[in-house]
Chain A
Amino acid sequence: MNPSDRDATGLLTRPDHFVQLVTPTGERRSDAEFDRWVADVDTAALGRLYRDMAIVRRLDAEATALQRQGELGLWPPLAGQEAAQIGSARALRDDDFVFSSYREHAVAWCRGVGPAEMLTVWRGSAASGWNPFEHRMAVPQIIIGAQALHATGYAMGSAWQGSDAATITYFGDGATSEGDVNEAFVFASSFDAPVVFFCQNNQWAISEPVGLQSKQPLARRADGFGMPGIRVDGNDVLAVLAATRSALDRARRGDGPTLIEAVTYRLGPHTTADDPKRYRTDDEIAEWRERDPLTRVLSLLAASGVDADGFEREVAEEATRAAAELRTAVTSIPDPEPMSVFDHVYAEPNSHLARQRDHYARYLAMFDEAEEGVR
């Protein structure tokens, strides 16, 4: 190891180093830099990471089915990105804060977001599904990359108040082309903001391959902004956990931001409205299925002496129950009251909107009166 490959805090900065602790076939590889960050992860802990991934995969499939059946307006599936999301979110402390995009259902799961809360927005029933301060996770962001700046500002505030809590923000490979993300890198770096930029490079921004956004590994961008970049196997939950823990630790110590590029793959469509057959091949998908995030963990568990088949079955049953709960939760989401269309536009009374609200109430009342008249 060349000392120039490390920054002042000892963090590995060689961006072309690809952190992988578990190979696709389930072999544990040693890594001089990152092993220490997961030294505490025993068989039981690894099993818990598998459980998280298996359950969110099942929930995700159920949500896709619910959309197909007309119970949800839209769903952006996370299939394929379970390790990237679970590995990073399980590295967080409860008092850390998350600013995500719209695909981080597994992160929401780790933050304790319930099934109905998770689906509310996608059912079109309310503007948001959960209170950000309850779960310490902002409402999902649809505008590409906007949340990176929000995370940076939140982290700046956190540091100024003397907290050692960190902030993590999730975005995709496509978002790295947006001005907001690059501006976030500048602010975070200039102010040593305790923020982790977690980029899930899932290879595709709808139909656009990552090569259109960048001619080099995204993690290398970090160098130009004056922060370390880590390129990690995003389908290796252990490596993601290690990389995120190291970046969070750097943030807590006041040493500033880190960019993590988790190399992963979106196995499904961009959303249920997308048809990926128009822009990518079955062979490519098959290739990435070989690098599945879940099977490698089962293989490693089996090699560690665990009854992997039995464990897989046990978790699958639990996942089936969770999916059933999700399905029940959908129909429990109340339809919004018509007049709630005026709620929460302002924090304070607003005379203009009050007048508009009154007018609409009168308008709706006309129909009630008309009905009364018919009776």
Chain B
Amino acid sequence: MTTMTFGKALNAGLRRALAGDDKVVLMGEDIGTLGGVFRITDGLKAEFGEHRVVDTPLSEAGILGTAVGLAYRGFRPVVEIQFDGFIYPAFDQIVAQVAKLHYRSRGSVRMPITIRVPFGGGIGAAEHHSESPEAYFAHTAGLRVVACSNPADAYVMIQQAIASDDPVLFFEPKRRYHVKGEVDETASLADAKPIGVASVVASGTDVTLVTYGGLVQTARDAAVAAAEDGISIEVIDLRSLAPIDYATVEASVRRTGRLVITHEAGQQGGVGAELAASVTERCFEFLEAAPVRVTGHDIPYPPAKLERHHLPDLDRILDGVDRVMGRPNSLSGVEA
């Protein structure tokens, strides 16, 4: 086990993927000489050369479009979109091409492209630098969407994403890049938890609290705080947003009877909406209360001085917990 930051764990995972398969090629803006604006690819160009770690011209559509061509040629492109809010020029290539080519070629063309996206807020950034666009991609057939929440998962999941023959949107919570954790660099990928499986990161009996990415730690903190009030929360780190590991979520909800989902992205059409609907369909008779979503508002990401009024935090999560527990909460007395 080695102690390393989230960012270093991604760097180590990318290094191992580059070393293990010469078809793996990294592409992005400022990822080579600079090592990325978050230094996730630090040192990799020097180690593997400019044809493995490629500084591209400033064109997100160009990066994804050429990645499609490289995939046609048998490469496994790993592209970095510098910030969440910069992904939209590439949206057409991702949704119309990357997601659909396997289908359109009746399975003959594979698109093993990993699209790394630093996402989410909480760092006081300028506009377009704090967004959570994962639901657009989770909505798109043909894409796999994952979000990692800690260094150990980051190290393993980035390698699993690269090894996947399907395209993967790989969301990295940028506010967690500097958090340290234990990483086992000797672990075999074959023994690791599959990328599509969720993790129960805290056990509990009263409420199932589901989240992913940057809010996993906040959810764990909420569970600790709730325990002081005698409420036992089970926290699930979803890890995979498309497909969702319903087996893990359902098993928990059948025991707790209550579901709270929290994410930074807005509520409307979000991952939480999909979860709430599916769990209600599948576990209706086990539910003691309607599932509750605690999400960012349905607004453009606000300026830095307002982000604490947008992002779910411990108190807002606990308000949602109070609601499913039937305790006094912000919607008490209001027809829901």
Contacts and interface: CB of A to CB of B under 8 A. Distances in A.
Interface residues on A, range: 35 or more
Contact of B128 (A143, A174, A178, A341): A143
Interface in A100-127: 102, 121-127
A274 B39 CA distance: 11
B268 A207 contact: no
Interface string A261-279: 0000000000001100011
Contacts of A212: 55-57
Most chain B beta-carbon contacts within 10 A, residue among A74, A206, A273, A357? A206
Nearest to B308: A338
A175 interface: yes
A345 B86 CA distance: 20
B300 A142 contact: no
Interface string B249-287: 000000000000000000110000000000000000000
A303 interface: no
A206 B300 contact: no
Contact of A366 (B37, B267, B297, B330): B330
B33 interface: yes
Contacts of B59: 177-179
A353 B299 contact: yes
A345 B299 contact: yes
A171 to B, nearest CB: 10
Contact of B306 (A144, A274, A341, A365): A341
Q: Is the interface of B mostly helix, strand, loop or mixed?
A: loop
Interface string B226-265: 0000000000000000000000000000000000000000
A245 to B, nearest CB: 29
A279 B127 contact: no
A212 to B, nearest CB: 6
Given A341-B310, A363-B316, A142 B128 contact: yes
Contacts of A143: 85-86, 88-89, 128
Given A121-B303, A142-B85, A353-B297, 12 more contacts: A74-B126, A122-B126, A124-B303, A205-B58, A206-B34, A274-B37, A335-B305, A352-B298, A353-B298, A362-B331, A363-B330, A366-B319
Interface of B: 29-30, 32-35, 37, 55-62, 85-86, 88-89, 124-129, 267-268, 297-300, 302-306, 309-310, 316, 319, 329-331, 334
